[in-house]
Amino acid sequence: MTEQLLVLHPGSKAILALGTDGSRIRPIVEDLPDVPDGIVVDHVRGQLYWTNMGTPDSSRRHEYFTRNGSLERMNLDGSERRTILPMGSFTTGKQLTADFDNATLYWCDREGMQVLRCNLDGSDLEPLVVVAEGDDAAHEIRNQCVGIAIDTANGFLYWTQKGAPKAGEGRIFRAGLEIPAGETAANRSDIETLWSGLPEPIDLELAAGGSVLMWTDRGAEPDGNTLNRARVLPEVGTPEIVARGFRETIALASADERTYYVTDLHGAVRSVDVEDGTTELIAELGPGLTGIALADF
């Protein structure tokens, strides 16, 4: 078995597998009816899960205010594809992560303005964070949740609210994995704003045992179109740009503490050495890439 990359490609309505050197590009599922965005791999069970944003509103191609998001699962070989949460279970599925030891999925619902979780079979769907409610609030991009990471050892949930494009309104938040007693997802008191005024933070991943947060940013240069990191434990540090020069960077996945893979909307997959900041183009797959994950085949 060899380690390969799994890349969501809404532009071709496919999930692609390729070698970490960019070789052996092949689809493992095609003709996806919706717009896939977040992906996570269950290495023990040999399965992958992904979120669908749904069909964009006809009036604006990149807006998804209609409640038609969904969540799916299949085996790594492309067999036994199943709908875990049907279309309309939430509004717009974005980055997805999981606590497979406890059989739980976590993801952000962008236009739904919330962070959600459910069991691997789709049961017990519940919001953990509700930023705001209502159509007017959903059109306020500052309210929209995008990237997510969880730290089960320390009991933390992290997420991004990117703000308007190129506006420098981006924020990254943290809260407990469980809602405080007597509170609700809409009024919880344990939410921290870790950083604000970021260009446009998108997807997240934790490193160094949960003490460091990595994230992509697709905002305006010089600080946007970057891969970033900052310490989050035992104290919150100052964000640092690890690598620059991406083109609308979206998703990230780590092979180890030093090597990360990053996708962008222009269709590139790049590897990044986070120690020296060097990048290498792995593949050009065509416009519209979103989520990325690693798996052994």
Looking at the DSSP bridge assignments, the partners of residue 6 are: 17, 293
Nearest in space to 200 (alpha carbons), one of 179, 217, 175, 177: 217
Write the pLDDT tens digit of every residue in 186-217.
999 999 999 999 999 999 999 999 999 999 99
Alpha carbon distance, N-terminus to C-terminus of the chain: 5
Write the pLDDT tens digit of every residue in 235-272.
999 999 999 999 999 999 999 999 999 999 999 999 99
Instruction: Specify the CATH superfamily of domain 34-246.
Output: TolB, C-terminal domain (2.120.10.30)
DSSP at 199:
S
Cα–Cα dist 226/118, whole Å: 31
> What is the full DSSP assignment across 259-282?
EEEEEETTSEEEEEETTT--EEEE
Rounded to the nearest 5 percent, the helix, strand and coil shares of the chain are 5, 50, 45
Cα–Cα dist 207/48, whole Å: 21
Nearest in space to 111 (alpha carbons), one of 152, 78, 142: 142
DSSP at 180:
P
Write the pLDDT tens digit of every residue in 32-85.
888 999 999 999 999 999 999 998 886 666 789 999 999 999 999 999 999 999
Cα–Cα dist 14/26, whole Å: 10
Cα–Cα dist 177/180, whole Å: 9
Cα–Cα dist 106/97, whole Å: 5
Q: Where in the chain is the domain with CATH 2.120.10.30?
A: 34-246
**pLDDT at residue 185 is higher than 90:** yes
Token couple for 278:
């060097």
